[in-house]
Amino acid sequence: MKRAGSHSLRVWSLRWFTGLALTGLWPATVQGAATSAPPVQIAVAANFAAPAKRIAQDFERHSGHKVLLSLGATGSLYAQIKNGAPFVVFLSADAQTPAKLEREGLAVAGTRSTYATGRLVLWSKKSGGLDGQVLRSGRFDKLALASARLAPYGAAAQQTLRSLGLAEAVAPKIVEASNIAQVYQFVASGNADLGFVALSQVLSEGKIREGSAWPVPAHLHEPIVQDAVLLKAGAGHAGAQAFLAYLQSEPAQAVIRAAGYER
């Protein structure tokens, strides 16, 4: 799913990245010019940390632009942007926040595009079968989830519990985290038995890296559509525009798919 502006980004990406590679002009012109350019400061929703790091490394290697990533809950990053943080690109965990930034004049109109659709999973560090019945059974002490106010994955977790009719029953056992990365830490450290995390956090080479996970059926919560947008501070920043173009390229999308995201 693409929004206005994404088609031009893709075309520009193919012309810039592929064209320079074929002509052999990449190292002498692009990297040489980019080394003196200001860094590309990107605000990244915590669920997307691993693929963002990989994509940033690839982008740096191919373009010469330096990338600085700042990770956090979407709501927290939004507050930082509102307060003047020097981010030039925002990779949100939802579509609503970038749209809101556009309306408020803090993002460049027409630059929003969907870069991924997230998958929510219920994760346990213990191996063995895990499914939604564990929530009904009550055979756990603590259930971690991110703040629904700050994190779209937390909102999806709350929607899932309501869809299952379990919101009130499990409420006394909920441990709330500020973002999805902290949920993972709670479960990994044993401070929570279960946690709603992003599939990308527990997936490695197409398999659950540790423990067991239940992929939450998509109909139990609203789609986790994740949009990227060029922020006002990046309006004249060539590296920021190049990164957004690269994010839509096939090499970047291959990384995103391998991390467990959909389009």
The CATH number assigned to the domain holding 51 equals 3.40.190.10
Residue 20 predicted with pLDDT over 90:
no
Q: Same structural domain for residues 198 and 229?
A: no
Please state, in angstroms and rounded to a whole number, the distance separating the CA atoms of residues 131 and 121.
10
Answer yes or no: is 245 within a domain: yes
Domain count, the chain: 2
CA–centroid distance for 210 within its chain: 21
Q: Same structural domain for residues 111 and 229?
A: yes
What would the mean pLDDT of 142-149 be, rounded to a whole number? 96
**pLDDT band at residue 4 using 50, 70 and 90 as cut-offs:** very low
Answer yes or no: is 205 within a domain: yes
What would the mean pLDDT of 210-221 be, rounded to a whole number? 96
Q: Same structural domain for residues 140 and 107?
A: no
**pLDDT band at residue 254 using 50, 70 and 90 as cut-offs:** very high
Count how many residues are written for the chain. Answer: 263
**Per-residue pLDDT at 34:** 52
Answer yes or no: is 143 within a domain: yes
Please state, in angstroms and rounded to a whole number, the distance separating the CA atoms of residues 83 and 106.
11
Sign of the four-CA dihedral 184, 68, 148, 84:
positive
Q: Same structural domain for residues 190 and 60?
A: no
What would the mean pLDDT of 107-119 be, rounded to a whole number? 97
